[in-house]
Structure 1
Amino acid sequence: MNRMMVILFRLMLLIALLIVAFSIIKYFFHPLRKLEKAHGQRQFFFLDDQKDVRKNFSLTYKGVMFEGEKYMGATDTAFDIVTIYVWTKDYNALQGLTREDFQFIEEDIHVRYPQSAIEWKSPIKEFLRDKK
């Protein structure tokens, strides 16, 4: 009976270690962690689930976190994402971004959603309109 308890305890300990190892591995490969890391390093990173139209995408560029909302509609050939609204919650972080930076972001979005029209929300919309 005592030997059986030791074996059971070892088995439970092994299962606990496997669960902890799996959780650590899952944490390091989670896409949100990659987004936060790129944001902290002021790099470009695009996080999106293209299969889920209702899920917004996030991207970070030069230390600014942007969010995009996708809307599906009919194109000439099929239903596709036709409109994307993009904004940021931290407008102070926009300091130093140029028109070329926003063009880079638009081009990268168009790579993923070629049929889409990109609409920027205020104050980015006014900045881009005034620069033309």
Structure 2
Amino acid sequence: MIVILFRILIIAAIILLLYSIIQYFRNPERLLQHAKISNGFYFIDEQWNSKKNIRLVYKGCQFEGEKYVGTTENSFEIVDIHVTVTDPIELQGLTRDDIYFLEKELLIRYPYAKVTWKHPIDKLIVTK
């Protein structure tokens, strides 16, 4: 009887270990940091939750966007997004085309939104 109980406990421990490993590799924070280190692009957002900020990484620079709900002709949508950079030093090497790429990615997810870039990014943007 005790041998069967130990086998069940070992199987449960293995299942718990596998679950923890899978959750570690699927963690969005870890993926965001990995994209920052590898100079990639990663986007974290809960589109159904308007209170959660948007976090994205592009070319080693981390941005954060605040979403604001407003009205469109037919419904309530995200109509305004204010994007700031978490560390302005990371902006070194980013071009205007990179900012336009990020704006395009935001507009794909939120077509009714107006993207507003905060200081110092707004100095680089030519079109208003």
Question: TM (normalized to structure 1)?
Answer: 0.89
The aligned residue for residue 11 of structure 1 is 8
Question: Structure 2, unaligned stretches of length 5 or more?
Answer: none
How far does residue 57 in structure 1 lie from its aligned partner after superposition? 1.2
Q: Which residue of 1 aligns with 2:100?
A: 103
| Distance in 1 separating the partners of 2:104 and 2:60 | 18
Q: What is the deviation of 1:126?
A: 2.7
CA distance in 1 between partners of 2:123 and 2:27 (Å): 35
2:43 equivalent to 1:23: no
Equivalent in the alignment of 2:53: 56
Aligned residue for 1:124?
Answer: 121
Partner of 1:33: 30
C-alpha RMSD over aligned residues: 1.6
Length, aligned pairs only: 128
Aligned-residue offset at 1:20 = 0.6
1:83-102 matched pairs, under 5 angstroms:
83-102=80-99
Cα distance in structure 2, aligned partners of 1:62 and 1:88: 13
Measure the CA separation in 1 of the matches of 2:62 and 2:81.
Answer: 16
Structure 1 residues 51-91: Cα deviation after superposition (integer angstroms, max 9, x where no partner):
11111111111110111110000011211000001111111
Residue 70 (structure 1) aligns with: 67
Matched residue SS, 2:73: coil
Which SS does the other structure have where 1:86 is aligned?
strand
Computing the radius of gyration over CA atoms, which structure comes out larger, 1 or 2? 1
Flag the structure with higher helix content: 1
1:127 Cα shift?
Answer: 3.1
- CA offsets, 1:2-49, max 9 Å, x none? xx2222122112111110111101211222222222111101111111
Quote the offset at 1:101 in angstroms: 1.1
Structure 1 residue ranges, 4+ long, deviating more than 3 angstroms after superposition: none
Q: Quote the offset at 1:114 in angstroms.
A: 0.8
SS in 2 for 1:128: coil
